[in-house]
Homo-oligomer: A and B are copies of this chain.
Amino acid sequence: MEQDYSQYPRHLVAVDCIIFGFDGEHLKILLVKRNFEPQLGEWSLMGGFVGNEENADEAAQRVLHTLTGLENIYLEQLNSYTEIHREPTARIISISYYALIHIEKDLQINENYSAQWFDLQNAPDLIFDHNEMVKDAVLRLRRRASTRPIGFELLPPKFTMKDLQNLYEAIFSETFDKRNFTSKINGMDILVKTDEKDMTSSKKGSFLYRFDEKKYNKKISQGFMFKM
């Protein structure tokens, strides 16, 4: 007996991307304004349907590439949202992903989507269940950020201790003591201090650091665990 698949229903399957960025001060989220019905003109997550010739990860990368022009974006699958009426016009099963990107000057957002960065704090209401997706994504981001060095995905290659602390404060929505923060980071010994300084923030200037991924991987293989 072979299984007959024709008796089972088939579903539209989409991916929706929660795109996080960091401007040095606040956690940001990239939203798009819908240019089709229903809910034309309202804000939503960037999404797209999963095609026949791609898996969901690839679909998410494609969608992100379409919007930002970037390749190999840091991406993690989150949850599936499967309520029958989660979208009013059709039953669509959606798999959510969160993405972490550097907000660089030369980042060229595709203008077709009327995309815009919002502070996570005062982002607009989103369509359908996208608010819930964002909420879930923030929780996951916090969890990941506390056990994996994913913060560096949101920073430029070189950054100051202050940048890093601002980032973690933004992610966790709490403030840290400067001395405790730096000694914790330095204690992990996964950054290299360059001999360059960022002179824009103060007269004295502050040293720039890089994340040393090689060293990190080596330490991991020796049993080290990142912990914030």
Inter-subunit contact B84/A54 (CB<8 Å): yes
Report Cα–Cα, A57/B84, bound state, in Å. 11
Closest to A59 in B: B82
Report Cα–Cα, A56/B36, bound state, in Å. 28
Report Cα–Cα, A3/B89, bound state, in Å. 9
Report Cα–Cα, A218/B82, bound state, in Å. 31
Inter-subunit contact A79/B82 (CB<8 Å): no
Q: Quick check: which of A90-98, A108-116, A164-172 contacts chain B, the rest being far away?
A: A90-98
Q: Is A71 an interface residue, CB under 8 A from the partner?
A: no
Closest to A86 in B: B55
Inter-subunit contact A95/B77 (CB<8 Å): no
Q: Is A53 an interface residue, CB under 8 A from the partner?
A: yes
Q: Is A51 an interface residue, CB under 8 A from the partner?
A: yes
Task: Write out the residue numbers on chain B whose beta carbons fall within 8 Å of the beta carbon of A54.
Answer: 84
Task: Write out the residue numbers on chain B whose beta carbons fall within 8 Å of the beta carbon of A91.
Answer: 52
Q: Quick check: which of A6-14, A17-25, A185-193 contacts chain B, the rest being far away?
A: A6-14
Q: Is A29 an interface residue, CB under 8 A from the partner?
A: no
Q: Is A173 an interface residue, CB under 8 A from the partner?
A: no
Inter-subunit contact A82/B53 (CB<8 Å): no
Report Cα–Cα, A79/B79, bound state, in Å. 7
Inter-subunit contact B49/A9 (CB<8 Å): yes
Q: Which residues 31-82 in A have Cβ within 8 Å of B in the complex?
A: 35-38, 40, 49-57, 77, 79-80, 82
Q: A106 CB to closest chain B CB, in angstroms?
A: 31
Task: Write out the residue numbers on chain B whose beta carbons fall within 8 Å of the beta carbon of A12.
Answer: 5, 8, 10-11
Q: Is A199 an interface residue, CB under 8 A from the partner?
A: no
